[in-house]
Amino acid sequence: MDNFLGGIGKIFIIIGIIFIILGAFFVVGGRIPWLGKLPGDIYIKKEGVQIYIPITTSIIISLILTLLFRLLR
């Protein structure tokens, strides 16, 4: 039973760290001028329609999170 509760405790700590990182990203994300405007991000604007697909930004964020999780593991 102690091992089970210890495992749940670790999961809650990891989830908490993820929420802290996401919160910091939302607070600081608007202040980073290049975030979301990288080459490879697709932005289409036509009459009454705007489509934004952040391909490059998503790849960079994915790489950063992958490295972070690998280091924490």
Q: What is the pLDDT of residue 2?
A: 61
13 vs 22 pLDDT, higher one:
13
Which residues contact residue 72 at a Cβ distance below 8 angstroms, ignoring those fewer than 6 apart?
Answer: 14, 17
Whether 67 shows a pLDDT value over 90: the answer reads yes
pLDDT by residue (tens digit) across 34-61? Answer: 777 888 889 899 999 999 888 998 898 8
Q: What is the pLDDT of residue 1?
A: 61
Q: Do strands 49-53 and 42-46 pair parallel, antiparallel, or not at all (unpaired)?
A: antiparallel
